[in-house]
Structure 1
């Protein structure tokens, strides 16, 4: 019911929101499909998390590029099953361009990102996090722009949802640039820092709750754990920089650090304590065809010929495409 103070624009926005809610309620009665895209450090435990969530008793294998699997969940007796698509990016930061495969205009409305960071490699942690989040955000923004040209209402709905987890009076409201779609960050290998098994059921239970919410739309947990001597569990919007406080850097004069904001301050202090190592994950991703130990003269000659043919085909296809565009404009 419109309020007397509502403008025509307010009433129009309310009507559009109502239609979206009705549409989503209708979809709830049908098969729902969601996608969860896992990325993070190499050998950081992404595959293990997925297999554990799907109750698959398999030995995890290294993910070479981009792998796909799926899970199903029944909503009730004799009702269609919801489907969750799980994508996993291998290679750490070196293969981030493959993110454009799971991030599409068809999947973006029901897509979530899970970033798995290896706590046993603190020197690579912050750099990997930044590279992967920046690269993924760029793919998402490109996809949203493409979708916006076809369906601007859907894009506005996606953008509005990113703010719904925050209250307007949140102390960090002015500092926050929310990730465009749901994002969960998991610190893996926490068991290395404790004196008991990593099979702790409470941690596994929390992980299941998170993934069930992302994959099947179940209620999200609002439990908060910020005790430093326990695994952290912080749902979006339920913590703040003021509560976290300043970096515990006794040997560093924080006043002499040139930081643009609290997050930048934390980054600079962190990198002083854990300097980024001069290694690149790209060095670990070698092309076997160029490795001398796998040299096969006849095969290599044929491979070179095929590579040249492929490049020629690309050039010809590019010329044809440009000519088509030129003819269309006339």
Structure 2
């Protein structure tokens, strides 16, 4: 999941070693891949669910994450580095909805399978040792999380101070959520766990979960006087306000698609427009009916 047109499909295709051109993702799409760990051994199967539309289809997050696969599920959040004004809103909205859904599943599991629920809750702390200085200050995501910053080639063209603010903020977000962080070129995806940590803001970042710290990240990129004027109850709120002061978030209207050409009078065609109006009415009826059924549906049932 992640930024609209942020390169999610490209990353999946590269991961699956498929040589094909990416197509726009419609709603929620599924694919899978097989790979053997060693020669003449059974192949592992990886299931990929991709959420399209940026933050416009948040409710669909509930579909692939269920109590049946929660133990083997991981979230990959792809953020478009070339659009910093959309970055925080996209990141926060997607993570919040996913976290809430996973926590609901865990609450149900505590009643039906307390052992599994306890295992999952404990596992989120595995990357952060108890003697880590930030152990009491962070709030790890309930399931494994990787944050990928895409389109690094465009990001490199930014002013060095802007790059520093974005990089530093992503380091904080990833560390706070117990996530791994990787900044990549949108066409060059490679993930090698043996690779050494890279925190140099002038280069692509590579920081596995649990190997960063608030002291190494440093304070939010703002003067002491500016920070003193900000009202924040948590480190998360403080970093958000500092980041959005430099990169004001776009309004919901700005994040919507551009004007629908079907509504432009210069393209008017009577017969086509009549048919379109009928289809729009059918779509609205479908949305109302679907909304009712979604609310009544138990997504954790077989």
Q: TM-score range by the shorter chain?
A: 0.7 to 0.9
**Partner residue of 1:262?**
235
Cα distance change, pair 239–57 in 1 and its aligned pair in 2 (3 A):
same
Q: Name the SS for the 2:121 alignment partner.
A: helix
| Residues 1:297 and 2:274 are matched in the alignment | yes
Query: Contact between 2:31 and 2:49, CA under 8 Å: does it hold in 1?
Result: yes
Partner residue of 1:91 out of 53, 65, 72 = 53
**Closer, same or farther in 2 for the Cα pair 1:112/1:314, shift >3 Å?**
closer
After superposition, the Cα gap between the structure-2 partners of 1:152 and 1:221, relative to the gap in structure 1 and judged at 3 Å, is farther
1:145 corresponds to: 107
- Please identify, of 155-164 and 239-248, the stretch whose mean Cα deviation from structure 2 is larger: 239-248
Structure with greater Cα Rg: 1
The alpha carbon displacement at 1:69 in A equals 0.8
SS at match of 2:47: strand
**How big is the shift at 1:135?**
0.6
Shift of 1:93: 0.6
2:218 maps to 1:245? yes
Alpha-carbon offset, residue 291 of structure 1: 9.4
Q: Measured at CA, do residues 82 and 251 of structure 1 come closer, stay the same or move farther in structure 2, by a change above 3 Å? A: same
Q: Could you say which residue in structure 1 is the equivalent of 2:207?
A: 234
The answer on whether the counterparts of 1:91 and 1:281 sit within 8 Å (CA) in structure 2 is no
For 2:189, the equivalent position in structure 1 comes to 204
- 2:177 aligns with none
Task: Name the TM-score, length of structure 1 as normaliser.
Answer: 0.70
Shift of 1:282: 6.6
Q: Give the one of 54, 73, 95 matched to 2:35.
A: 73
Q: Taking structure 2 as the reference length, what is the TM-score of the superposition?
A: 0.76
Asked if residue 273 in structure 1 is aligned to residue 258 in structure 2, the reply is no
Q: Is contact 1:87–1:102 with CA below 8 Å preserved after alignment?
A: yes
Q: Give the 3 Å change call, closer, same or farther, for CA 308–199 of structure 1 in structure 2.
A: closer
Structure 1 residues 72, 300: CA separation in 2 closer, same or farther (over 3 Å shift)?
Answer: same
Q: CA deviation at 1:106?
A: 1.2
Shift of 1:52: 1.0
CA distance change for structure 1 residues 222 and 265 in 2, over 3 Å: closer, same or farther? farther
The answer for the alignment partner of 1:190 in structure 2 is: 152
Q: Cα deviation per residue 1:91-150 (whole Å; 9 max; x = unaligned)?
A: 101101101111011111100000000011101101111000001111111222233322
Q: CA shift at 1:170, angstroms? A: 1.1
Secondary structure (helix, strand or coil) at the match of 2:98 reads helix
Q: In 2, distance between residues paired with 1:121 and 1:58?
A: 26
Decide whether the 8 Å contact of 2:151 with 2:186 is kept in 1: no
Alpha-carbon distance in 2 for matches of 1:283, 1:111: 30
What is the aligned partner in structure 1 of residue 126 from structure 2?
Answer: 164
Alpha-carbon distance change, 199 to 136 in structure 1, aligned in 2, over 3 angstroms: closer
How many pairs were matched up?
A: 265
What do you get for the CA RMSD once the two structures are aligned? Answer: 3.4
Rounded to whole Å, the distance in 2 between the matches of 1:260 and 1:73 is 46
Structure 1: segments with no counterpart, 5+ residues: 1-38, 210-219, 322-330
